[in-house]
Amino acid sequence: MQKTAFPLRVKAVMIDLDGTMLDTVEDLAIAVNLMLERIGRVPLDQGLIRNFIGKGINNLVERALVGAMEGRPDAALYARALPIYMECYAEVNGRHTTMYPQVREGLDALKAAGFPLACVTNKSERYTLPLLAQTGLDRYFSQVVGGDTLPRKKPDPLPLTHVCEKFGIAPADALMIGDSLNDAEAARAAGCAIFCVGYGYNEGTDVRSLDVDAIVETIFDATKLIVRS
């Protein structure tokens, strides 16, 4: 972990969605198992599916089909399963989703302090935008970047540098708040500061082992470590 002087001076904040603001694992797991049922496969344990989350739908479906973090399924099977999964997830998106503690309080504090906010997620826009609207989080974000908004998604730095460009700031003046290696690698590659929450998914890896500027218990706690520059 890098040595960081607090409070950190930043001009804008970017926040991940799944595992950071919203606990979506139950919806994702239900959709995975509906997909597996429809293609004649046995269901997987929700705890295992939790570890598969983080790099977008394509990776989630691949991992679900092989039942492991690594490996590639048969191409024809994957081509058949992916649209089924997308249909299944559309059916359950948001149905069992819950908000993590103090997310709204944290967003209210960030807005009150005048920080421009962006949601940067690997979830496809077709699921992200309805979910933000359904939970009332859409009103906080002037920018939303989904996993299919740009040619590349996290851990590539493009989504973060894109947001910084739209905000008219240097990446060094932005903070990313996430829950995973994807967020940490994207932020470091972009040149942004990075905080990770201590909960979330992170593909089974402890966030305390990552190169981040701070581990925070909640998004509200993150607001105590930054000031607007």
**Token pair of 145, please?**
């970047």
pLDDT at 90 over 70: yes
Structure tokens at 94: 């948001």
Same domain as 118, residue 18: yes
pLDDT at 88 over 90: yes
Domain boundary residue, one of 67, 92, 117? 92
Q: Is the pLDDT of residue 21 over 50?
A: yes
1 band by pLDDT with thresholds 50, 70 and 90: very low
Q: Please answer whether residues 55 and 122 qualify as being in contact, where contact means their C-beta atoms are separated by less than 8 angstroms.
A: yes
Q: Catalytic site residue 45?
A: no
Kindly state whether residues 70 and 106 are assigned to the same domain: no
Q: Is 90 exceeded by the pLDDT of residue 55?
A: no
- Residues 47, 19, single domain; the answer is no
pLDDT at 56: 81
Residue listed under structure tokens 């559309």: 90
Query: In this structure, is residue 2 part of a structural domain?
Result: no
Cβ-contact 214, 195 below 8 angstroms: yes
76 shares its domain with 156: no
| Shared-domain flag, residues 68 and 126 | no
Structure-token pair, residue 96: 């069992």
Catalytic: which of 16, 23, 27, 213? 16
Task: Work out the angle between the directed axes of helices 57-66 and 75-92 (0-180°, nearest 10).
Answer: 120
pTM: 0.92
39 lies in a domain? Answer: yes
Number of Cβ within a 10 Å radius of residue 209:
11
- CA 140 – CA 70 distance, rounded (Å): 36
Specify if 3 maps to a domain.
no
CA distances to 25, 56, 170, 175 from 48, rounded to whole Å, are: 11, 16, 38, 30
Q: Are residues 66 and 114 in the same domain?
A: no
Alpha carbon distance 61, 32 (integer Å) = 7
* Amino acid identity for residue 126 in this structure: R
Q: Identify the H or E element spanning 195.
A: strand 193-197
How confident is the model over 154-204, as pLDDT tens digits? Answer: 999 999 999 999 999 999 999 999 999 999 999 999 999 999 999 988 777
CATH number, residue 216: 3.40.50.1000
Q: Is the domain of 72 the same as that of 41? A: yes
207 and 105 co-located in one domain: yes
End of a domain among 75, 92, 109? Answer: 92
Task: Tell me, yes or no, whether 57 lies in a domain.
Answer: yes
DSSP at 17: -
Shared domain check, 134 and 31: no
Domain of residue 58: give its range.
25-92
Is residue 120 domain-resident?
Answer: yes
Does position 108 have pLDDT exceeding 60, yes or no? Answer: yes
For residue 225, CA distances in Å to 86, 117, 194, 219, 222 come to: 38, 16, 12, 10, 5
Q: Is residue 1 part of a domain?
A: no
Q: In this structure, are 159 and 109 located in the same domain?
A: yes
34 plus 121 within the same structural domain: no
Residue type, 108: D
Structural domains in the chain (count): 2
188's CB contacts (< 8 A; 6+ apart) are: 194, 211
User: CATH code at 84?
Assistant: 1.10.150.240
Please check whether residues 149 and 173 belong to one and the same domain. yes
Work out the average pLDDT over 49-55: 88
Could you say which of 71, 92, 113 is where a domain stops? 92
Outline where the chain has alpha helix (H): 25-38, 46-52, 57-66, 75-92, 103-112, 125-135, 158-167, 181-190, 219-223
To the nearest whole number, what is the mean pLDDT of the chain? 95
